């Protein structure tokens, strides 16, 4: 169940990035995935969200990323 919660957090942040990208498409031409990564970075940097919150899923995704 922990894995699904972590995956839900990551997908939720991605969805927020996509929403911001579509709402501001006339002003900013930046992909939603990039906006989502910036949001995730800011959440982790300002310690709003702890790294342990998404560590297991993030490790899995990074370990299986094709180069």
Chain segment 4-41, per-residue pLDDT in tens: 999 999 999 999 999 999 999 999 899 999 999 999 99
Q: Tokens representing 21? A: 């990208």
> 34-50: buried (b, 16+ CB within 10 Å) or exposed (e) per residue?
ebbeeebeebeeeeeee
Across 42-51, average pLDDT: 97
Q: Residues for the chain: how many in total?
A: 67
66 pLDDT higher than 90: no
How far is the C-alpha of 8 from the C-alpha of 27, rounded, in Å? 29
pLDDT band at 67 (very low <50, low <70, confident <90, very high): low
How many C-beta atoms lie closer than 10 Å to residue 6's C-beta?
18
Which residue ranges make up each domain of the chain?
A: 2-63
């Amino acid at each position: 169940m922990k894995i699904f919660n972590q995956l839900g957090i990551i997908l939720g942040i991605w969805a927020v990035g996509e929403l911001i990208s579509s709402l501001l498409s006339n002003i900013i031409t930046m992909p939603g995935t990039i906006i989502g990564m910036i949001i995730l970075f800011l959440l982790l940097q300002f310690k709003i969200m702890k790294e342990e919150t998404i560590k297991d899923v993030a490790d899995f995704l990074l370990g299986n990323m094709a180069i």
